[in-house]
Amino acid sequence: MSIFTKLLLLFLASLGVMFFVGKETHSLAKTNIEAFLREKYLQASNDLFKDLANNDMVAFQKKLDAWGFESVPYDSYEKKARQIYEEQSSFGEMKIYEDAQGSYTLLLRYLDEPSLVRVKNQEEYFDQQLRLSYLIDADVVLLVVIFLLLAKLLLPLKTMTQTLKRFGEGDLHVRMSPQGSNELGRLVESFNAMASNIENLLGSRERLLRDIGHELRTPLAKSKLALEMMPSNAHQKILQKAILQIDRLTNELLQIERLGANMAEFKQEHFEVETLLSEALSKLMIEDESLLEIRIVDSFTIEGDLNYLSIALKNLIDNALKYATHLPVEIDVQNRTIAVKNQGEALSRPLESYCEPFVRGNDARDGTGFGLGLSIVHKIIHKHGFSLRQDYREGCYTYAIVFSH
């Protein structure tokens, strides 16, 4: 669940609580006012009934003033108001009403003569209730404003996350949009500056390696041609081997650089596993087919870049041939997996460490290699979304490519 979704749910929950509290507070305040006025009316009604019974309107008015009451014109009041309380006494009938304006009025009916009175300045009680309602409404508005401000701050994070993802996937030209002068804006500025530096650094390194690779190819080609024209002898074979190693190192360095910098472009195509095996073996250029034992239990289709996947498989087979103590090397194909197995001595380091660049074993059969083969394999398999399984049991190493996401 995203931060924005959590914030939205928290805001809605808080808003619901505030509305509930406001409604309950309003209802409780209204109930308290009703209870207070009803109690006051009940206490005053007996005294007022006595004066009405004695027909002493002067005393009746004095008691109204003492209780803080005032007379109200009757004028069919009962038809316009809502009755909330009624009580019969020996003097007559007493009722309490609430009118359309929310005021509470006491009706005293003595010998069918109605007298209507009410507490003066009832607005003060309702003003307190109204102020409380305004405070709750202000809290709701403040909560909405806080949510909008937080949403405004969080919404750019989605775009920033997408930009970071694209940058991590190799789109070094992508930049974040300016976000002002706040902390988020300074973060964007720092990222854009960092991204520019990384792009320039990687660009310079790529150009350097590319230039070195191209510059080396010409003298290497001339050296190969010159060696072919030289008489065959021990010195010629040493030079051929040295030049071949330099050529292989140059190609592997350029290849691993492109993979590490996300510059390699993979073609998505469908092909059978037999096609992949054939392509890998052609790159391996093995002369003695008895060195390999291939078993295809079931065939399957692969989606990916045939060229790069064949390089990965070729490197696995080449690595197995170099470090095998007994031949042939076994290649098993089944359950969407290609497993390369070879007999060998236990390694001094964990298998995973050999996937790092320039890490190689000390017991290679021919002493060649630069420790880049497994690193290239790991990068190609990882970028395709496949997995590389490594295992060592009872003197047998297994490197398996699992073609499932």
Burial annotation 229-260 (CB, 10 A radius, 16+ → b, else e):
eeeeeeeeeebbeebeeebeebebbbbbbbbe
- Least confident stretch, 220-234, 250-264, 363-377: 363-377
Per-residue pLDDT of 224-245, as tens digits, reads 777 777 777 777 777 777 777 6
CB of 336 closer than 8 Å to CB of 300: yes
Q: Tell me the pTM.
A: 0.46
Residue 341 in this model has a pLDDT that exceeds 50: yes
For position 332, what pLDDT does the model report? 94
By CB atoms closer than 10 A (0-12, 13-18, 19+), residue 103 is: middle
Residue 350 in this model has a pLDDT that exceeds 70: no
CATH class of the structural domain 269-402: alpha beta
Residue 371 in this model has a pLDDT that exceeds 60: no
For position 25, what pLDDT does the model report? 78
Portion of the chain with pLDDT greater than 70, in percent = 84
Give the pLDDT band (50/70/90) at residue 366.
very low
Backbone angles phi, psi at 396, to 5 degrees: -120, 125
Distance CA 339, CA 317 (A): 10
Distance CA 168, CA 295 (A): 39
Q: Where are the domains of the chain?
A: 3-125, 183-260, 269-402
Give the pLDDT band (50/70/90) at residue 213.
low
Residue 356 in this model has a pLDDT that exceeds 80: no
Strand order in the sheet with 82-88: 69-71, 113-119, 104-110, 93-98, 82-88
Nearest to 306 by CA among 264, 272, 335, 333: 272
Portion of the chain with pLDDT greater than 90, in percent = 12
- Write out the two tokens for 14: 């808080």
For position 76, what pLDDT does the model report? 66
Residue 23 in this model has a pLDDT that exceeds 90: no
Per-residue pLDDT of 258-313, as tens digits, reads 666 555 567 889 999 999 999 988 888 777 778 899 999 999 999 998 988 988 89
- Least confident stretch, 214-218, 354-358, 373-377: 354-358
Q: For the domain with range 183-260, which CATH number is right: 1.10.287.130, 1.10.3720.10, 3.10.450.50, 2.40.30.70?
A: 1.10.287.130
Nearest to 357 by CA among 253, 283, 225, 209: 253
Per-residue pLDDT of 192-212, as tens digits, reads 899 899 888 877 766 776 677
Distance CA 212, CA 229 (A): 26
